[in-house]
Amino acid sequence: MKCDDARAAFLAGQVGRAESEHLETCAECRAEMPSLLETRRIMESATFWEEPPADLEDRIVGLVAGPGPKKEPAEKPPRWQLAVVGAAAVVALLLGVFLVQRTPSPDWEVALPGTAEAPLAVGVVSGWNEPGGTRMTLDIEGLPPAPNGFFYEFWLSAGDLHISAGTFTEAQGVELWVGVTRAEFPRLWITLEPIDEDESPSGVNVMDTA
C-alpha cells in the first residue's frame, strides 16, 4: 500500500483494511490526517455545490501527492511529477464521483428500441419530473448521425397528440426538456426530420417505445 493510494481511498471514503492499516502505521500519512479529514469534509459537502471550489483540485493533488520536489536532484526525472499525474487521475475520478452523486437518480427510465429504420439502435431514456416539466437524457448506441439537411426529433405522444422535446443530429450527451409529463404522454419516439417548415412528425420513425 502506497501513501497516495491510501490517501486517495480515504478521501473517497473507501477505506478498506489495507488502507486503514497503512494510515494507522505510516507516520507521514498520520501527520497529514488533519488535512485529509478537513478535505474529506469539504468534499462530502460538495453535493450541494453548483461548482466545486476552484482550489479543491490543487488541494487534493497536494495532499495525495505529498510534498513537492524538495529532495530530488535536478537532473533526475522528478518522481513527484509522476505522483502528481497519478493524483490528477485520482482527482478526476473523485470529482466524477461527486458529479454523479450530485445528480439525483432519475424518476423513471425506459428502454427505447430501434425500429426497422434503425435496427442497430438501442437506448435508454432517463427522466426527471420537475415542477416546470420533464427533463430527459438520452443514452443511445448505434444510431448514426443525421445526414446533411436532416435532424432527429424527440417526441412524447398521447394518441395523435405529439409534443416535441427537441432536436439533435448526434445522440451523444443529449439532454431534452418538455413541458408535459410522461404520465400524460407515455409514448416516446424519435423521427428523422428534413430541415423544412413542416413542424409535424415526418413519419420516418427510427426509435420508438410503442
Residue 45: DSSP 8-state: G
Q: Which is nearer to Zn ion, 29 or 178 (CB)?
A: 29
Rule CB under 5 A: say whether 3 interacts with Zn ion.
yes
2/102 with CB nearer Zn ion = 2
Interface with Zn ion by CB under 5 A: which range of 3-11, 99-107, 116-124, 136-144? 3-11
Interaction of residue 90 with Zn ion, rule CB under 5 A = no
**Nearer to Zn ion by C-beta: 46 or 64?**
64
Q: Which of 8, 9, 11, 29 binds Zn ion (CB under 5 A)?
A: 29
Interaction of residue 26 with Zn ion, rule CB under 5 A = yes
Cell digits for 44? 462530502
15 binds Zn ion (CB under 5 A): no
Q: Which is nearer to Zn ion, 1 or 180 (CB)?
A: 1
Query: Which whole-number Å values give the CA distances from 170 to 140, 162, 189, in the listed order?
Result: 10, 22, 15
From the CB of 65, what's the least distance to Zn ion, in Å?
A: 12
The answer to whether 166 touches 177, Cβ cutoff 8 Å, is yes
Amino acid at 150: F
Q: What distance in Å separates the CA atoms of residue 90 and residue 174, rounded to the nearest whole number?
A: 27
CA distance 39 to 125: 36
| Near Zn ion in 171-200, by CB under 5 A | none
What are the residues whose beta carbons fall under 8 Å from the beta carbon of 196, sequence distance 6 or more? none
63 sits in which H/E element = helix 56-65
Helix (H, G, I), strand (E, B) or coil at 34: helix
Q: Which residue has the cell 485520482?
A: 90
Q: Given the rule CB under 5 A, which of 10-18, 23-31, 89-97, 103-111 is the region that contacts Zn ion?
A: 23-31
Residue 204 binds Zn ion (CB under 5 A):
no
Stretch that binds Zn ion, among 19-27, 81-89, 97-105, 119-127 (CB under 5 A): 19-27
3-state secondary structure of 162: strand
Residue ranges in contact with Zn ion by CB under 5 A: 3, 26, 28-29
